[in-house]
Amino acid sequence: MKIKLVAILLLLTCISYSQDSLYKLGPDSQRQPNVPKGTVNRYEWKSKLYNNFREYYVYVPAQYDAGKPAALMVFQDGHTYVKDSGDQRVCIVYDNLIHQKKLPVTICLFVNPGNATKEYPENRFRVSNRVNEYDVMDDKYVTMLINEIIPEVKKKHNISDKAAMHGIGGLSSGAICAFTAAWERPDYFSKVLSHIGSYTNIRGGNNYPSIIRKNIKKDIKIFMQDGTNDLDNEHGNWWLANLEMEAALKYKNYNFKFIKGSGTHSGKHGGSILPESLIWLWSDVTIE
């Protein structure tokens, strides 16, 4: 019996790996010769609103001109999006696409969820306050961004005040967090990047489809990605939850795009299509 169980687990692992292995990073996610490299700096912040600590990173492209307001893109779970060796490689993608004039000059803000102390766990997904910040459907987190962290970034960098020049994204609970931020403050965030979004009943996120249907359409542009082999557990079925979100957004005539795949609850698929995702998301902005 034990041998059969081990065999089944190994088979499931192989199936999951084979699904995610379909997705490869393209040239825009790789360092290219003669492409100027932006800078990345790490900071720490103690939130007054949450009374906790977090790390954040700021990417500034080589083309940044302090005399011209830059766009802003915020990423939740910043530690995974900022890495040059990860699934996303956001800074490399921005270096390449800004150089190609396919994206506006953009300051990227990578924010980690909060932790009770500065003794962060090695796995930053395991910080103490992630669920309470990301999966809760209220304006507390976006208020912290707008009132605390973004003003710190603006002390050093010239960022546009226009909502059309502000985007926010994340994966899993970070994705529903990004959607909530834009939903609560569409006057500030007009663009959402959602990877394997947790629109399930972790903290009531499964209610979003009906909330979207019953409320006035908001000025938000949304890019979604998910796979048929995403999670299925006590909180819900991630794939079905994303399909419900798609149906609700379509019903209300939102400007959205949903790229569907066969991947699992990982960043492989979202990372492989990140360049085209960002190009679509920012296609309404004139690039100088």
pLDDT reading at 10 higher than 60? no
pLDDT(160) > 80: yes
Residue 21, both tokens = 């292995």
Quick one: pLDDT band at residue 195, thresholds 50, 70, 90? very high
Residue with tokens 């999006």: 81
Please determine, for residue 16, whether its predicted confidence score (pLDDT) is greater than 70: no
Give the residue from 208, 80, 186, 191 showing the smallest Cα distance to 142. 186
Rounded distance, CA 181 to CA 185, Å? 6
CATH 3.40.50.1820 fits 2-281, yes or no: yes
Percentage with pLDDT > 70 across the chain: 94
Give 6's pLDDT tier (boundaries 50, 70, 90).
very low
pLDDT recorded at residue 238: 98
pLDDT tens sequence across 33-46:
999 999 999 999 99
Average pLDDT, the chain: 95
How many angstroms separate the Cα of 265 from the Cα of each of 17, 195, 198, 225, 245?
A: 11, 9, 10, 11, 17
**CB contact set of 137 (below 8 Å; sequence gap of 6+):** 180, 203, 204, 205, 207, 208
Other CB atoms within 10 A of residue 26 CB: 14
Q: Flag whether pLDDT at 240 surpasses 70.
A: yes
Report pLDDT for 200.
98
256-288, pLDDT tens digit by residue? 999 999 999 999 999 999 999 999 999 999 998
Closest of 105, 109, 110, 111 to residue 36, by C-alpha: 105
CA distance 34 to 24: 23
pLDDT for residue 12 is more than 70: no
Q: What does the alpha-carbon distance between residue 80 and residue 9 come to, in Å, rounded to a whole number? A: 27
Q: What is the CA radius of gyration of the chain?
A: 19
Domain extents for the chain?
2-281
Matching residue, tokens 């779970």: 77
Segment 160-181 shows an average pLDDT of 98
The continuous run of DSSP H or E covering 78 comes out as helix 78-81
pLDDT of the residue at 288: 84
Prediction pTM value: 0.94
